[in-house]
């Protein structure tokens, strides 16, 4: 038996209130750090593809009606 994770987060990570997260585009942190390094004239070492895939993930954002916190969640797939 295999339990599948939901497609997107469904609850506030702070208080547990049901929360309809929406997809939110984001640039993975490793990409923004590489751009900053290149702007300084450095060339960052390449990451293995499997590491980039793991760090990219799906991005979601939601404003909780319970605790009034805006949460940004990055979902990563385990292999």
Q: Could you read off the pLDDT of 12-51 as tens digits, one per residue?
A: 989 999 988 888 887 788 888 899 999 999 999 888 988 8
What are 34's two structure tokens? 């590489």
Q: Hey, which residues does 22 pair with through a beta bridge?
A: 61
Whether the model pTM is above 0.75: no
Q: Residues 69-75: what's their mean pLDDT? A: 81
Q: Is 10 helix (H, G, I), strand (E, B) or coil?
A: coil
What is the rounded distance in angstroms from the CA atom of residue 51 to the CA atom of residue 28?
A: 12
Domain boundaries, the chain: 22-75
């Amino acid at each position: 038996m295999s339990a599948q994770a939901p497609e997107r987060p469904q609850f506030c990570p702070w208080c547990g209130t049901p929360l309809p997260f929406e997809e939110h585009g984001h640039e993975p942190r490793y990409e923004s750090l590489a751009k900053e390094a290149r702007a300084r004239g450095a060339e960052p070492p390449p990451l293995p593809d499997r590491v980039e895939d793991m760090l990219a993930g799906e991005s979601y954002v939601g404003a909780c009606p319970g605790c009034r916190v805006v949460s940004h969640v990055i979902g990563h797939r385990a292999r």
